[in-house]
Amino acid sequence: MATTATHAGGTVEVLHWWTSGGEAKAVGELKKSFESQGGTWIDSPIAGGGGDAAMTALRARVVAGNPPAAVQLKGPGIQEWARQDVLSDVDEVAQKEQWDKVLPPVLAAIMKYDGKYVAAPVNIHRVDWFWANPAVLAKVGISEMPKTWDEFNDDADKLKAAGITPLAHGGQPWQDATIFENVVLGIGGADFYRKAMVELDPNALTSDTMVKSFDQLRKLRGYVDANFSGRDWNLATAMVMRGEAAFQIMGDWAKGEFLAAGKKPGVDFVCAPTPGGAFNLNADSFTFFKVHGADRLEGQKVLASLIMSPGFQETFNLAKGSIPARTDVSLDKFDACAVKSHEDLLAAIENNTLVPSVAHEMAVPRSVRGEFLDLVTKFFNSDMSSVDAVKELAAAVKRAQTE
């Protein structure tokens, strides 16, 4: 498929947090395509998985009245910035190219403010995945991926008894929250997840199901190595690659790392959804901020068109570990993990089991997400009881909502 865009030229400054091996490769494809259209790309990478450092940098740039033209920014954050009147729309491009016809409605809605596109989606990432090294699993006779958290615990106990670190993990708040939300989804199911984590219902937040979820998180804490604290997510992926740990619980950007290191899916590493029979959604998008001057405005249009071109969506997502945001791009060149993601996504839309990730900024306002991350991390790094955790979580969420 050709990577075509309607416009040519322009300058664009792009703020993003794609700095790991797989991420850098993927964003490199965007830069290359943009430059091949005659455009000038100004790269502003802010390292830090999950994007918390990037969002802090963005705030400073907007306050200084000098925002970058395009920002890796997603979910409700798009609406939050739009309400501040600092975004520019690319609706002319979107209408001309009929984006509404090729995007899942749930994604299209996130990209629009006041009915106009202010952002363009690059992908659909799935958050609820186990990644594992099959050779390490084989050492203790595990030949199938776990289907329930109890099965995972049994596997992990076997690995631990054999002196193998069951779970590669990086102790950073967003990573703690990533594993926790997957646990909630597995223990409570999609309806419960929505009630507790999206609607923030106090009864759901303090329910037995939530207590059980914290109990399972406590178990996971017992399966990580001694040096987990502060470790970057891609270093945790590397532990699985090198056979220093068996599993990682992480979104499919981890697959981008395996692929960038030349590892083969189904051979060197295996994937399986974490329990829950649902789909935990995270979608990256570029949001367009108000810039001035014909050259910069042109740059935004070129980038918007390029991001949504079928050829780019294919190339980018092959490197990133995700699947295209466009529904009309063939998955012929994609691996079995991507095909599984796509099938499960369609089933989740059909069965109403598609849920937005809290850790990855798809579900709740930043203030609520912040309280959630703080509490989960506090629990992970202390001996707080699960009963105290649910009480503290409910109180913290309420505080964030009334602030």
Contact letters (x/-) for ligand BGC, 328-367, by CB under 6 A?
--------------------------------x-------
> Measured from the CB of residue 24, what is the shortest distance to ligand BGC in angstroms?
10
**What order of strands is seen across the sheet that includes strand 165-167?**
165-167, 245-249, 129-132, 270-273
Nearest residue (CB) to ligand BGC, 164 versus 254: 254
Q: In sequence order, which residues have a C-beta less than 8 Å from that of residue 144 and are 6 or more positions away?
A: none
Q: Compute CA distances 211 → 146, 207, 217, 390, whole Å.
A: 22, 7, 10, 6
Q: Which residues on neighbouring strands pair with residue 13, listed in sequence order?
A: 42
Contact between 29 and ligand BGC per CB under 6 A: no
How large is the greatest C-alpha to C-alpha distance in the chain, in angstroms? 64
Nearest residue (CB) to ligand BGC, 252 versus 344: 252
Q: CB–CB of 49/176 below 8 Å?
A: no
Q: CA 65, CA 55: separation in Å to the nearest integer?
A: 15
Contact between 49 and ligand BGC per CB under 6 A: yes
Contact between 181 and ligand BGC per CB under 6 A: no
Choice from 17, 117, 269, 312 touching ligand BGC (CB under 6 A):
17
Instruction: Give me the residue whose beta carbon is nearest to ligand BGC.
Output: 253
Measured between alpha carbons, how far apart are the two ends of the chain, in Å?
Answer: 49
Q: CA 185, CA 386: separation in Å to the nearest integer?
A: 17
- # residues contacting ligand BGC (CB under 6 A): 11
Choice from 214, 223, 253, 380 touching ligand BGC (CB under 6 A):
253
198-237 residues in contact with ligand BGC (CB under 6 A) are: 233
Contact between 125 and ligand BGC per CB under 6 A: yes
> Measured from the CB of residue 397, what is the shortest distance to ligand BGC in angstroms?
21
Q: Which residues on neighbouring strands pair with residue 355, listed in sequence order?
A: 280
Give the interface segment with ligand BGC, choosing from 48-56, 135-143, 188-196, 197-205 (CB under 6 A).
48-56
> Measured from the CB of residue 385, what is the shortest distance to ligand BGC in angstroms?
30
Select from 78, 107, 99 the least CA-distant residue to 354.
Answer: 107
Select from 109, 30, 36, 128 the least CA-distant residue to 70.
Answer: 30
Nearest residue (CB) to ligand BGC, 50 versus 186: 50
Chain residues that interact with ligand BGC, rule: CB under 6 A: 17, 23, 49-51, 125, 233, 253, 282, 284, 360
